[in-house]
Structure 1
């Protein structure tokens, strides 16, 4: 089924699926490979059949079944001869993670963690269909679609330094709201500053271990320091944008005579009208997600200010970085020794750019882009840095989390939310959620080991471990 190339690297040979243009590459340890669903291998091979794919169809160690592309999948397509596919991005466009530093130490926060978690849960709306405290106008929605985190900062939800520490400065140029449907607008308009449900969370953590002191210093991290991690995306707007354009691209496959082994791989030639319409709408959703996380950041700072009686500047609540998952981006990479523009699809994968890359913020350029890898509820998360090797191995990409091994429906039959909550609280982790079933769906046992997943990318050299953070309090939808 797969052939071992080296420790943590496996090849899916051409021929696994008829029409494969390139091999597959699966970056996973031998023990993690044993838990990979055969359907995930099929999805990696299926992506390798798409026109214009470059080098390999890849999947990270957190890979599992997704829509069309495996979650954890990475594929790059030639700008002129390749395709764009919503299945390579996902429904929650720019589901991403940001990390806020503080100058608080663990011992200062632990006595307040229950009140702090409760206040964060109250101040940042969460859950299915949750609505924002903001009543955005149509013009403000367009501004968010066009300018992302920059719109939020200019509207008073943050400071300019926040956008400097976001991937792509917190917005992608080229978005066009005219390609966003009325239904997508209606769904997105009331949801700015909301977490949503599923695996999204707002987590208070502390730095438990430093692996690389020089890089940690550049990132402003020390042992015992309290941080805040925000994980969420583009909410109903992104989901509807994906749904709308999948219909159009499903017809485009037939129009352009593209042979696909799975209808979920609906796509169109990258420069076609259909593909570009999708791309411009996808950029709107990506920008919306950055605006969403920025608003949540502002309300998180306000909550800390109230609980600790100090302003955010005094608390040192600077944004370390914000990374996107679930996005397609036009990037320049070296393929067969030549520079080439490609549409890199990262579906449940994180950008991991190296030192000296011009898209890495100036503050981190000497050490590489921060790479944020959240754990599952109650388990460690990790901060890594991008490497030069990643550009050669994976188009500058790393994993994005632990990776599910159990469906939400199955999880609710295996776990009781109240029991999980009590177990976590016995470990010193406060949990607030809209319903016990949410906790059951996201129980630690539902996911792979975040430590094992992160060790794979570290050992491959795709991203290097910098620090580990442990949860103190978790607010979930």
Structure 2
């Protein structure tokens, strides 16, 4: 998991720590880590802090190499990392996006009382487990190949509008409208296309989930009303990404960019930071393929949401409109996007990498849907399956300090192997049931890997970004039932 950090770390305030530029050879900018004092010991225990410093050495990085309080070790960049690069002098790196391109979260709200769901909870979870394809390599009922796959990669969730599988309201409540411009289906390999042919509309495995939740507490009544959240109601959260297609796009790009590093004379402190200039042929090729995979992921979550709407309508003997099933928002947390940000008093176009970090655009931003424009972007933060998830609203300070970014979840403290070891002799399913939470998974190992103890305290992570002024708390969601691969 990488070496522990041996460089200099200074406390800036109650929620920020600085790695000064120069404290590690080659750093071009500071590293800044958002973490409260209760969280910093966990942050320092792995190799992620050294990765923050490594990212600060990359050409054309702007501002600082940033990390959110859910930071933990990842491939090249830390998970929980944010880095913005100048378009002319900077680079784009697959390690700054991750293997699961556009892994993200979608939240559905309903008018269904959570008490109604709780009375039939095991039946509801079992029905979701039957209806939602889950597990490693599992395919679904939708197959996209040839021209339909090219259109899906080019248009993302918007392609599903013509298929009757999405609505304009869904797209309006999705980051970037569920479609990134500049996607290049021709940059996606045949291997990736084959892997993705039958996986759009499937959940996958690992930390991906569908979770039935109760809106337990409202903190900001006006923001909650704008987002359609009401205490005591049932909500459903979906967490998944671009499946095997996105993983293959990342694999292909890493192989391709190894040659680019030598071609452009880029010196790297870690070979996992392979990259290319943003505007180079290799950089454009990766961005085109990455955008296509991101579009695939938005279509994937759209199909899952459509299936879940149908399941809820049948289960509760109603229809989606009568039951008030509507999308709150869908947001990515593994992506690189070209955005305009103010740096040193002037607007600059930057390539912003968010890996295990959520976009957080403040009130009034032009990219926000009309319903939420006055309160700020909904920020969806899943916790572990035994505690809670949060809905936050982005604040102005995020744009000034973090290129409009915040945390994405609780963040792991145990590796998957360590979590499985820690679960020996225990039944995670029974432990959750004792808390009133029904869990279904393809395997005992799947639940063991994702047990609550494998993650940081979600309340502490959220409190850190709120105290730092990046977001405001809107609502707390309590898990009722969860399905996993």
Q: Same fold (TM over 0.5)?
A: yes
**Could you state the TM-score of these two structures normalised by the residue count of structure 1?**
0.99
2:111 and 2:173 mapped to 1: Cα distance? 18
Alpha-carbon distance in 2 for matches of 1:19, 1:135: 48
What is the CA deviation profile of residues 76-109 of structure 1, one whole-angstrom value per residue up to 9, with x for unaligned ones? 0001111100000000000000000100111111
- Contact 1:57 1:75 survives alignment (8 Å): yes
Q: CA RMSD in A?
A: 0.9
Q: Which residue of 2 aligns with 1:392?
A: 400
Give the 3-state SS of the residue equivalent to 2:361 in structure 1.
Answer: coil
Which residue pairs with 1:215 in the alignment? 223
Alignment of 1:5-44 (within 5 A): 5-36=12-43, 37-44=45-52
Q: Alignment length, in residue pairs?
A: 477
Q: Deviations over 1:119-154 (max 9, x none)?
A: 111111111011011122322211111111111232
**1:405 and 2:413 correspond:** yes
- Assess if the C-alpha contact under 8 Å between 1:417 and 1:436 holds in 2: no
- State the alpha-carbon separation in 2 of the partners of residues 288 and 153 from structure 1: 14
Q: Distance in 2 between matches of 1:418 and 1:449?
A: 21
In the superposition, relative to structure 1, how do residues 48 and 417 fare at CA in structure 2: closer, same or farther (>3 Å)?
Answer: farther
Q: Indicate yes or no: 2:10 matched with 1:3.
A: yes
Deviations along 1:2-36, one digit per CA (max 9) or x if unpaired, are: 10000010001112321100000000011211012
C-alpha change, 1:48 and 1:337, in structure 2 (3 Å) is same
Given that 1:94 and 1:286 are in contact with CA atoms closer than 8 Å, whether structure 2 keeps it comes out as yes
> What secondary structure does 2:427 align onto?
helix
Q: Which residue of 1 aligns with 2:150?
A: 142
The Cα of 1:416 is off from its aligned counterpart by: 4.2
Unaligned runs of 5+ in 2: 1-7
What per-residue deviation string (whole Å, max 9, x for no partner) do you get for residues 335-392 of structure 1? 0110000000000000000000000111100110000000112220000001111001
* Counterpart-to-counterpart distance in 2, 1:203 and 1:98: 11
Structure 2 distance, partners of 1:344, 1:175, is 17
Partner of 2:329: 321
* Pair 345,185 (structure 1): closer, same or farther in 2 beyond 3 Å: same
* Counterpart for residue 104 of structure 2: 96
Cα-to-partner distance string for 1:282-327 (whole Å, 9 max, x where unaligned): 0000000000000000100111111111011111110000000110
Could you say which residue in structure 2 is the equivalent of 1:353? 361
Q: Which residue of 2 aligns with 1:285?
A: 293
* CA distance in 2: counterparts of 1:392 and 1:236, whole angstroms: 36
Whole-angstrom distance in 1 between the partners of 2:342 and 2:322: 44
- 1:449 — aligned with what? 457
Q: List per-residue Cα deviations over 1:156-208 (Å, max 9, x = no partner).
A: 21322100100000110100110000000000111011110000000000111
The DSSP-based 3-state class of the residue aligned with 1:120 is: helix
State whether residues 158 and 166 of structure 2, in contact with CA within 8 Å, keep that contact through their aligned partners in structure 1. no
Q: How far 1:417 sits from its partner (Å)? A: 8.5
Residue 77 in structure 1 maps to residue 85 in structure 2: yes
Give the conservation status (yes or no) of the 8 Å contact 2:46–2:72: no
Unaligned runs of 5+ in 1: none
Give me the whole-angstrom Cα distance separating, in 2, the residues matched to 1:14 and 1:136: 48
* Cα distance in structure 2, aligned partners of 1:198 and 1:160: 31
Against the structure 1 CA distance between its residues 417 and 96, is the aligned structure 2 distance closer, same or farther, given a 3 Å change threshold?
farther
Partner of residue 56 from structure 1, selected from 59, 64, 76: 64
Q: Distance in 2 between matches of 1:222 and 1:307?
A: 21
- Per the alignment, residue 129 of structure 2 pairs with 121
CA distance in 1, matches of 2:481, 2:165: 23
Is contact 1:418–1:436 with CA below 8 Å preserved after alignment? no
Among 334, 350, 353, which residue is 1:342 paired with?
A: 350
User: Where in structure 1 do 4 or more consecutive aligned residues deviate above 3 Å?
Assistant: none
Tell me which residue corresponds to 2:192: 184
Q: Does the CA contact (< 8 Å) of 1:327 and 1:346 recur in 2?
A: yes
In structure 1, C-alpha distance between the alignment counterparts of 2:193 and 2:168, rounded to whole Å: 27
What's the counterpart of residue 433 of structure 1? 441
CA contact (8 A) 1:417 1:439 kept: no
3-state SS in 2 of match to 1:191: coil
Pick aligned residue for 2:282 from 264, 269, 274: 274
Contact 2:46 2:73 (C-alpha < 8 Å) held by counterparts: no
Distance in 1, Cα, partners of 2:131 & 2:171: 22
1:241 aligns with 2:223: no
Contact between 1:417 and 1:437, CA under 8 Å: does it hold in 2? Answer: no
- Quick check: 128-137 or 196-205, which moved more? 128-137
For residues 347 and 417 of structure 1, the distance between their equivalents in structure 2, rounded to whole angstroms, comes to 34
Determine if the alignment matches structure 1 residue 133 to structure 2 residue 141.
yes
Alpha-carbon offset, residue 418 of structure 1: 5.9
